[in-house]
A and B are shown apart, each in its own frame.
Chain A
């Protein structure tokens, strides 16, 4: 049976794996898994229908991403927890969230209006600066949008192999159910936002989230990778993803072109390292930068063996990267050299933001760590 083969293949994950593992095997594997027909039947997911429970200490839960809503900091994480701080990360409060699933990403268009992306293809929306959230769209609906879009594409281009491929892809993803998490969000205005996710999931809204459209056919990634992060650099919108995938949009996110791959390593983040230098980082300490909008890349030397999972350019111009082993690295020469700051944060670091007072707020497996700006010099 197919699923036995899959389990066999997955068992191989636990022995030292072959080279090129990340490039093809994982996306292929997940497409197989997704299409195996053994996916969950139409289940009533209780975790999508109940409010997140109140946690004992909002600053001590696993948090994955952090964003600004004006001067407020909003961070998202496990079991539907969204927390916010109005004092630069010193104290945290829990927002009202209608679900209990992992929330992976958050972005604000204005201090009041923002979106959060979650597991099950869920997009949440807030209009009060992150205090309360409502559900806008979920995975099952995204699957339908995707199938409808691909079907329409095929109807207008019946002989286009790309269109046939698109329909096949949409149907496979549809049959797996709403299992694809949103991984990244970009909020351009209170009306316009794009959400990216697993297997090249991409949806966009132009009406503040009332209606969403499938954008995945406009993202030129033929293998349907996981799209982990997005960033505005200059006037372009960049996406970084699995197996070294980098895409760029020069038309405000309407279409994305595939850029040369810096390496086969999966990229978890991408950001502006200053002076329009693009810096991307990811698996096993890998980091790359490009001074020509991603046309060519050079490796950046970061003394990390663990995954780099957070990065930011501070107001001072210093570039900060952090990894899953709790280490923080700094570069004061536009990313040419990084050094590790002494001391370990004692948790895997998944997200970073600079608070209004200049302090660096890290989020990760054990919650929040505030690193005073003074200690970074």
Chain B
């Protein structure tokens, strides 16, 4: 019903009275004959959602980035309480600018910092550790037996004797390299975080937390110490706090797009309308986001911009159509209806195709990606209303600048012999001929094969140290490098989980198996240090024998092992002594590192020798364990997702074109863009992860817009009996030129992002501008070349008599 075949002949009607209001589809009739009602509804919705959109917060929830159904995570969540927020913590290294930490002033400053951090919202206070917290204890042997106490005692007064005592106590904790750096110049404040703000009960605001931590850093940096702060909260916080700059870059992109559009149309009125309609879509989207109770995350912050970009692409098409008709002397209302008639279906198919391909992302069991998919789908869905319906109705009132309309028509000569065409159209027209078509296809297929070959190397997960979302020169990554160099533990912890029967955590066979695994892992170059009840028991039997070095080891004496029960460190087991976590501190969380650890552990568990009714080992906890699980989920999802996205695109193209030949013409250029985008990711060193996974899918969504606008008009012309060359030329004059315009406009706008302070945005800018440009190029060059072989005009001439 909503078919361009219904459009009939579109005569020029200078006066609206001569126009048959009932012409066109029923849908067009309802919309345009009640356009005032429709626009009023739109304005009301805009005001309502505009107010709602003010409530949208930018934040991220650590648990939302976790694939909750993945087996590692299922195991991890079972032990969530036992592991005391091991996954999400902030680590603050406080370095003395001069001398060592055994210094009265340093320890005073450290106490002040420790006290301030203790009071921050979201801190899991009982488990926070620093030299000053009472849970940091030493155990040692004295002439009188075993003794223990806090590192800095109640009687500490800063005297040299007391300071020497602190130094001895630190050595006795066995925490050198963890709590205190090997060179005694830095000490660590370990701050586990809750998911909620314990002061307000609301979800923890990472932006706020990171601002407060940075304020503490600034305050004490001038007081003889240097602070280095790492952790998920800081990465996300830095990204959230950098959001103003992100928004500035968005604004620059919007400005560039607007300027290009104006340069092209020379009509302020319609340019502003197109931008207005696209921004309206973003406002609606944000309002709905707020109604759904979602936060905008640093990863989904790109989505509103993408919606804007797609909106611009469709809006420009509508405006161009209206402008050409007005230039021919048509009344604005009629021009708007004609444009709606010609392009609604192509636009609708493209947008629904986008919506569905974004929705495919929802199959990934990670809340953050599902929210992103929901936001993107909704946003693009909204464009159907704002840019396909609201924009033409608005144009029907405003019309366009009359000089601009004439100018538009002047640059759009009626189809004629090649010599009347301009250079660019002549050049593009070459691809409807045999030799150029073959050349283009061979070239593009070769590129596709090249892209596939390079793109095979695309890795899942992080490929750099620290936080790849941030630049290597950023404060965070410098802090991360510093802590990595000076401490044996770092921000990347992998935990192997071992369950035992109750009171069985110290069973000889458990400890031996755990110790074996730990010892194997210790030999990996990527492992910095390990900790478990097995290594505790090795030192424990020393403790039981007055710290005699020769008693180091797990002795085959169960009562002796059991006797360690009274002094187990809280993080090495649980209340019922039925859980033995093995902590593995890694040098980084690169995909390769995590793979290595997972492989060693899985191989160990699979060995029948290490299976026993007395214990069960499983993967995995810690932020690195979670990252490993996420990588596994994303690796599977990436393959399935691209397959599904393409399936959706093909089905929609089939429905729209009802021709498998046209589907090939539309989809092959997209495929080559996808392959090259993967190659680009390899080349730029971008791994596929929660943040980057959606981009390729989004790229397909954007690309299909171009193909649909070009191909639907081309098919219409071909079905009306035009030769391929003429059909393509007419398409270029109508929608093709706008495809070129939007491709260049959006690519130019987005490419400025490479100067963004956040590397994630810079990478996305490069990837997106590549995809904008290459999709445009594919639609302009490869599509007609493929059409030469797949859609020759004789095909339609034969059909005409019968259909």
A residues in contact (CB < 8 Å) with B: 3, 6-7, 10-11, 13-14, 16-19, 21-22, 25-26, 30, 33-34, 36, 38-40, 43, 45-47, 53-56, 62, 64-65, 78-79, 100-102, 104-105, 119-120, 176-179, 181, 183-184, 226, 228, 242, 265-266, 268, 283-284, 286, 305-307, 309, 324-326, 346, 348, 350-351, 364
Contact = CB atoms under 8 A, between A and B. Distances in A.
13 contacts: A13-B543, A17-B144, A19-B144, A33-B563, A39-B558, A43-B556, A46-B609, A53-B523, A78-B519, A101-B553, A176-B557, A307-B141, A346-B182
Given A56-B524, A268-B548, A119 B555 contact: yes
A109 B208 CA distance: 69
Contacts of B543: 13
Interface in B83-100: none
Interface residues on B, range: 35 or more
Contacts of A305: 168
Contacts of B522: 55-56
Interface string B554-579: 01111110111111000000000000
Interface in B507-536: 508, 512, 515-516, 519-520, 522-525
A43 B168 CA distance: 41
B135 interface: no
B563 A286 contact: no
Interface string B278-297: 00000000000000000000
A324 B549 contact: yes
A38 B547 contact: no
Contact of B145 (A18, A176, A184): A18
Given A14-B148, A54-B523, 10 more contacts: A6-B559, A7-B566, A13-B145, A14-B567, A33-B563, A39-B559, A53-B523, A78-B552, A79-B515, A181-B550
Contact of B553 (A3, A78, A184, A351): A78
B566 A26 contact: no
Contact of A14 (B146, B168, B551): B146
A103 to B, nearest CB: 9
A306 B523 CA distance: 30
A26 B176 contact: no
Contacts of A53: 519-520, 523
Ordered nearest first, which 4 A-B pairs have the shortest CB separation? A17-B145, A102-B553, A10-B563, A21-B145
B545 A26 contact: yes
A77 to B, nearest CB: 8
B143 A284 contact: yes
Given A33-B559, A40-B558, A325-B171, A104 B550 contact: yes
Contacts of A30: 560
Nearest to B508: A40
A324 B609 contact: no
Contacts of B139: 14
A283 B143 contact: yes
A188 to B, nearest CB: 21
Contacts of B515: 79
Given A26-B546, A181-B550, A21 B556 contact: no
Given A13-B146, A21-B144, A266-B548, A36 B519 contact: no
B126 to A, nearest CB: 20
Given A16-B145, A17-B147, A306-B171, A46 B560 contact: no
Nearest to A121: B556
Given A13-B145, A18-B144, A346-B182, A36 B559 contact: yes
A201 to B, nearest CB: 12
A270 B557 CA distance: 28
Contacts of B140: 306
Contacts, number: 159
B293 to A, nearest CB: 49
Contacts of A36: 559
Interface of B: 139-148, 168, 171-172, 176, 182, 508, 512, 515-516, 519-520, 522-525, 538, 543-553, 555-560, 562-567, 609
A303 B334 CA distance: 101
B565 A16 contact: no
Contacts of B525: 56
A39 B519 CA distance: 25
Contact of A326 (B142, B171, B553): B171
A176 B145 CA distance: 25
Contacts of A10: 544, 563-564, 566
B176 A346 contact: yes
Nearest to A54: B523
Contact of A22 (B145, B553, B555): B145
Nearest to A325: B171
A13 B553 contact: no
Contact of A120 (B147, B519, B556): B556
B562 A3 contact: yes
Contacts of B168: 305-306, 325
A51 to B, nearest CB: 13
Contacts of B146: 13-14, 16-17
A34 B143 CA distance: 24
Contacts of B609: 46
Given A17-B146, A306-B168, A100 B566 contact: no
B487 to A, nearest CB: 14
Nearest to A10: B563
A55 B145 CA distance: 35
A286 B156 CA distance: 26
Contacts of A34: 557
B517 to A, nearest CB: 11
A105 B550 contact: yes
B515 to A, nearest CB: 8
A65 B549 CA distance: 9
A120 B571 CA distance: 29
A183 B550 contact: yes
Given A55-B523, A346-B176, A13 B549 contact: no
B553 A119 contact: yes
B556 A78 contact: no
Contacts of A6: 559, 563
Contacts of A55: 522-523
A307 B563 contact: no
